[in-house]
Structure 1
């Protein structure tokens, strides 16, 4: 494909949308846009883009993609995605400082929101959660250039010291890689504030802990060397 003249705004939209759609790269996304809209892609043309156009133009590459992720990519291409906020600052934490706590990762693209898809999120927010406290202990930025040929394994490895993963969306193969490192994925389709979901988790920790969570807490103790 010859070079396509793009404005900075359109180039940014396409780059961000390709990040949401790891199944296709920027060059492939440009070919999809060429097929559906013609080149060069402009703001007016992208405003007419539909979900069906993306699926058909990708020639099956997006057939099994979660609808939420495809809608997010379409919103970015149309310029409808809101501005992202910088990540929050971590809070001081010493290992073992919160007894009977569990480590939880949340996929995030903006601020302290639980709004990231596992295969495309910008970062993991990592919390230490007990029945009495929620503490953001680390913000782990994701650099897929380090992933070599297995993005899902790379991302799962970044949270291998956690016991739970809260995620807006995750596919079956990715979930299997997360489970393989002994992390329990919890899909939260509606997203929202990460701490709101963690406060719900606190209520569970303070009451009758279900077997799957008790097992995860046992793994937390084993990893930190604390008897449970």
Structure 2
């Protein structure tokens, strides 16, 4: 198997779930570590032999800076096929959008792996939950499955940005520098939260800001969404 070969679905599923458990780690990066440790082709039998130290030391310590042992153990469980139930986590149902876009609202994409939770990293989350948010209402309008990373030669960040290019705000736990630049250049403001949380908490914070005096970066997105000013894809808010 070469780096361009698609992984078997069963192996790709395990790797995708494991990458979601690790901070700032894409499935492609994890594949490189696994190939360095186990060789090619990657199989379920080989994945079952992995230990935490293999993840820390493989590919010249590519993941050595990850000190979260709970995350490493969860990733190992996924690689062993012990956490496949996570793939079946409830996916929320969008509300009908019969009345069109909410007045004076922004459109927000949240990186999610389970339920209505903001618990995903940009490069490895299972899906993006799309909300319209105004000062008085928040509405889930779409659930967009994110593309799986099973080929190393494809720039999956571009696919993911295209998936949310109608949004004003991207909310994630983490996002790499090149991907963040691509997001900003698409006119979307990346917004990081430090810990996983229910999306309702994030939406409440955004509504509070919208109801008061929004910070400049949010005011600009609100103005763009309501047609008060043209998009400015290159601007970076602080």
TM-score bracket, normalised by the shorter chain, equals 0.7 to 0.9
Gaps of at least 5 residues in structure 1 are 2-7
Alignment of 1:1-228 (within 5 A): 13-14=14-15, 16-17=17-18, 21-24=26-29, 26=31, 29-33=34-38, 40-41=45-46, 45-46=49-50, 49-50=51-52, 52-62=53-63, 71=72, 73-77=75-79, 79=82, 83=86, 84-94=88-98, 96-144=100-148, 149-222=154-227
CA contact (8 A) 1:17 1:76 kept: yes
Distance 1:29 1:127 in 2: 36
Distance 2:130 2:123 in 1: 17
The two structures have a TM-score, normalised by structure 1, of: 0.75
Distance 2:180 2:99 in 1: 27
Structure number with the bigger relative contact order (C-alpha 8 A, sep ≥ 6) is 2
SS of the residue 2:117 aligns to: coil
Distance 1:108 1:209 in 2: 25
SS of the residue 1:58 aligns to: helix
CA contact (8 A) 1:124 1:139 kept: yes
Distance 1:107 1:149 in 2: 20
CA RMSD of superposed structures (Å): 3.7
Distance 2:201 2:211 in 1: 16
Gaps of at least 5 residues in structure 2 are 2-8, 231-238
Alignment CA distance shift 1:65-1:158 (3 Å): farther
The two structures have a TM-score, normalised by structure 2, of: 0.72
